Every structure is written in structure tokens, then in C-alpha cells.
Structure 1
Amino acid sequence: MDESVVVSPDWLASRLDDPAVCIVDVRDAWEFDGIGHVPGAVSIPFDSYRDESDVDRGTLPGADAFATLLGDAGISPDDTIVAYDDTHGVFAARFVLTAIEYGHDDVRLLDGDYSAWNQEHETTSETPETEPVDYEADPLEPDESPLVGYDAVEAALERDAVLVDTREREEFEETRLPGAVRFDWRGVIDDETRRLKPEAELEALLADRGITPDREIVLYCNTARRISHTYVVLKALGYEDVAFYEGSLSEWLANDGETESGPASAE
């Protein structure tokens, strides 16, 4: 796995004293304070980097709001950020995607989650002292961003793109984008270790669904949370042509986009 995208607990443990590595805990504040956290981590709860005017879709918070969050946490644009949660990384992956979109150059996902870290490494209840900084976001230009909208997805349907639905089977069978294949985002997780499965096993799982590095891939779910995890995993495996449908099924249905339902042959 590409360590510039996903890092192991051992990688992070060896850098706890590095001031240029900023650890972000995206769990609820009560978990950060009451259960404990990775030493040196700062708390930026998941709800704080969602668009409060549109929370049902979980959309991006806006560049200025996100910059304020990072600056208040003492994070600078040049820092290496490592994010984690305690839900197999799905909420932390959303943070990673958000930071990428707003131009942070070095942001990574911790392989596993707090429970995985806690199996072998120390935790603490001490809140680190941080000094706020001025953080200026530098959002990606549209042609650089992995995020795509309704029109781009419509166009992808006309090409040989693989539309990947990361939701559960019941959701997929109820309604989905035309021709989509289902790849449950949790399928990449080893239940025992709570970490990602071995790289070769991940590649085989993806290839079984036709999700291969030579294809154009468009990811969607309901509100763009679950696809964040799949996006990070694909990038860590070296996939290059991966689009992230931010509006996901919520926007697709609002625009009366064509859908399918029922079991699919790939299932």
C-alpha cells in the first residue's frame, strides 16, 4: 500500500514525537475525552467538517470553514496529517478526501482505527497543547479535483466507466445507477485485525467486480461518506482514474436520473 495515502499503526507510532506529523481524531468529542486517543492527537469531530446547511447529504463544509478548523487545531499547510476514527476508517477517510479537495498536500489515513491502534500501542486521555495558526486553504481546480457532478456522471455512463456502488445489498437492490456494480466498502476490512486486508487480496476482490486500474471508475453511495473510504483504498493501491460523485444517489434522484433496481448479475 502507498504510504503517502495509508499508513500503518507502526508507521505512526514511530513518528509520535515528530512535530510535522499532526494526528486528527474525528470521533465524537466525548469519545476523544472519555475513552482516550492516540497520543498527540487533536479532536476534529466528523460533524464539524460537514456542511451544516445540508447535513443529510454530508457535503463539504466550504474552504474557509475547513481552514478555520485546521488552523484552530494548530495544523499548518505543510504538516503531514494522519486521520483516524473508530469505525474502520470511514469517517476519517471523509476527512482525508475533504483535506485533499481543499489543497492539503500531505494527508493520510491510519490503516485500521482507534480499536486497531489500541491493540498494540499506547493511548492517552491527555489533551495536547496546541497553538492556533493561520491556515489558508487552496482548493483544487475543477480539472484537478476527483469530485464530479451529475453531468459528468451522465457522460461517464456513455463511456466504458465502471460505476461502483459502495452501499449494502438491500440499498443496492432497491435502487442504483444504471449498470452499477456493488462493492461494499467494508469488504476491504479484516474483521479480526480491523485493518485492511492484504494488498493481493484487495486487488482480487476488486478485479472480481471488474474494478481494475485500467478502467475509468466512478464511485457513489447515498451521501458521499462511504465512497470516501473506497476512494482512499483505491488510491493507495495505485488506481489513477477514480472519480468521486459528491452528490451521489441523493443528487441523482433529485435530478430524476435513470435508475435500476432488483438483483444484479454481479451479485
Structure 2
Amino acid sequence: MDESVVVSPNWLASRLEESTVRPIDVRDPWEYDGIGHVPGAVNVPFDSYRDESNVDRGTLPGAEAFADLLSEAGIEPTDTIVAYDDTHGVFAARFVLTALEYGHDDVRLLDGDYSAWNREHETTTDEPEIEPTSYETDPLTREKSPLVDLEAVEAALERGALFLDTREQSEFEEARLPGAVRFDWREVVDDETRRLKPEGELEALLADYGITREREIVLYCNTARRISHTYVVLCGLGYEDVAFYEGSLTEWLANDGEVATGPATSADHRSR
């Protein structure tokens, strides 16, 4: 796994004394304060980096709002951010995607979560002293951004791109994009270690679903949270042609997009 994308608990533990390595805990404040956190971690709750005007859609908060958030957290554009949660990394991965989209060059996901960290490494309830900064975002251009809109999704469907639906089976059967393959984002996680499965297992798992490096891949769910984790994992494995449908099924349905329903057929399953 590419360490510029995903880092191990040992990697983070060996660098906690470095002033430019900044752990960010995206759990709720009561978890951060009451249960404990990685030493030096700053709390940036998940709800704070979603669009406040419509949190149900889960869309990006906007460049200015995100700049204010990182300024309050004492983050500089040159810092190495390592995000984590206690839900196998799915909320933290959303932070990673958000920071990348707004131009932060070095943001990584902690492999595992707080529970995985807590098994072998020190935790604390002490809050670090925060010196606010004047953080400025530098959003990616459309050409460089992995985010795609409704029009681009329609074009990708015409091209026969591989659409991955990372939601629950019941959600998938209720409505999905035509031809989509269901890939539960949690399949890449080892339930016992709470960390990602070994790379060999991940590659075999992905291949079993027809997910290969030569395919054009488009990810979607309902509100673009669960696909964040799959996106980060694929990037960590070196996949390059991966698009992120920010509007996801919420936007697709709102625009009367065509859907398939019911159990997946053989054409929708792993043979794609």
C-alpha cells in the first residue's frame, strides 16, 4: 500500500514528535474527549466538513468553509495530515478526499481506526494546544479532480465504465445505476485486526469483482461517504482511472436517472 496514501499505526507512532505530522480525529467530540485519542490529534468532527446547507446529501463543505475549519485546527498547507476515526476509516477517508479536493498535497488515511491504534499504541485525553493559522485552499481544477458530475456519469455509462455501488444489499436492490456491480466497502477490511487486508488478498478480491487497473471505474453510493473509503484504497493500490460521483444516487434519482432494481443478474455481478 502506497504510504503517501495510507499509513500504518507504526508509521504514525514513529512520527508523532514531528511538528508537521498532524493526526486528525474525525469522531464526535464526546468520543475524542471521553474515550481518548491519538496523542497530539486535533478533533475535526465528520459533520463539520459537510455542506451545512444540506447535510443529508453529504456534499463537500466549500473551499472557504474548509479553509476556516483547517485554520481553526491549526493546520498549515505543508503539514502531513493523517486522518482516522473508529469506523474502519470510512469517515476519515471522506476527510482525505475533501482535503485532496481542496488542494492539500499531503493527506493520508490511518490504516485501521482508533480501536486498531489503541491495541498497540498510547492514547490520551489531553487536548493539544492549537495555534490558529490562516489556511488557504487551492481547489483542484476539473481536469485534475476525481469528482464527476451527472453529465460525466451519463457519458461513462455510454462508454461501458465499471460502476461500483458500495452500499448495502437492500439499498442496491431498491435502486442502482444500470449495470452497476455491488462492492461492499467493508470487504477490504479484516474484522479481526480492524485494518486493511494484505495487498495480495485485496488484489485477488478486486479481481474477483472485475475491478482491474485497465478498467474505467466510477464509484457511487448515496451521499458519497462510503465510496470515499473505496476510493482511498484503490488509490493506495495504484489504481489511476477512478472517478468519484459526488452526487451519487441521491442526485441521480433527483434527476430521474434510469435505475435497475431487484437482485443482481449475472451481468451485474462479478463477471463484469
Place the TM-score, normalised by the shorter chain, in its bin. over 0.9
Unaligned runs of 5+ in 2: none
Matches within 5 A, 1:104-143: 104-143=104-143
Matches within 5 A, 1:83-94: 83-94=83-94
Aligned-residue offset at 1:160 = 2.8
Q: Could you report, residue by residue, the CA deviation over 1:174-203 in whole angstroms, capped at 9, with x for unpaired residues?
A: 110000001000000000000000111111
Aligned-residue offset at 1:263 = 1.4
Q: Distance in 1 between matches of 2:235 and 2:192?
A: 24
Alpha-carbon RMSD across the aligned residues, in angstroms, is 0.7
Q: Distance in 2 between matches of 1:235 and 1:262?
A: 31
Which stretches of structure 1, 4 residues or more, deviate above 4 A after TM superposition?
A: none
**Equivalent residue number for residue 9 of structure 1:** 9
Please report the TM-score for the alignment, with normalisation by the length of structure 2.
Answer: 0.97
Residue 54 of structure 1 aligns to a residue whose secondary structure is: coil
Report how many residues are paired: 267
**Equivalent residue number for residue 243 of structure 1:** 243
Aligned-residue offset at 1:262 = 1.3
Q: Could you report, residue by residue, the CA deviation over 1:39-81 in whole angstroms, capped at 9, with x for unpaired residues?
A: 0000000010010111111110000110111111110000000
State whether structure 2 residue 75 is matched by structure 1 residue 75.
Answer: yes
Matches within 5 A, 1:147-226: 147-226=147-226
Residue 250 of structure 1 aligns to a residue whose secondary structure is: helix
What residue identity is the alignment partner of 1:61?
A: P
What residue identity is the alignment partner of 1:45?
A: P
**Equivalent residue number for residue 50 of structure 1:** 50
What residue identity is the alignment partner of 1:250?
A: T
What residue identity is the alignment partner of 2:112?
A: G
**Equivalent residue number for residue 254 of structure 1:** 254
What residue identity is the alignment partner of 2:149?
A: G
Unaligned runs of 5+ in 1: none
Q: Distance in 1 between matches of 2:51 and 2:138?
A: 18
Q: Distance in 2 between matches of 1:48 and 1:55?
A: 10
What residue identity is the alignment partner of 2:210?
A: G
What residue identity is the alignment partner of 2:224?
A: A
Aligned-residue offset at 1:99 = 0.1
Percentage of pairs with the same residue? 79
What residue identity is the alignment partner of 2:27?
A: R
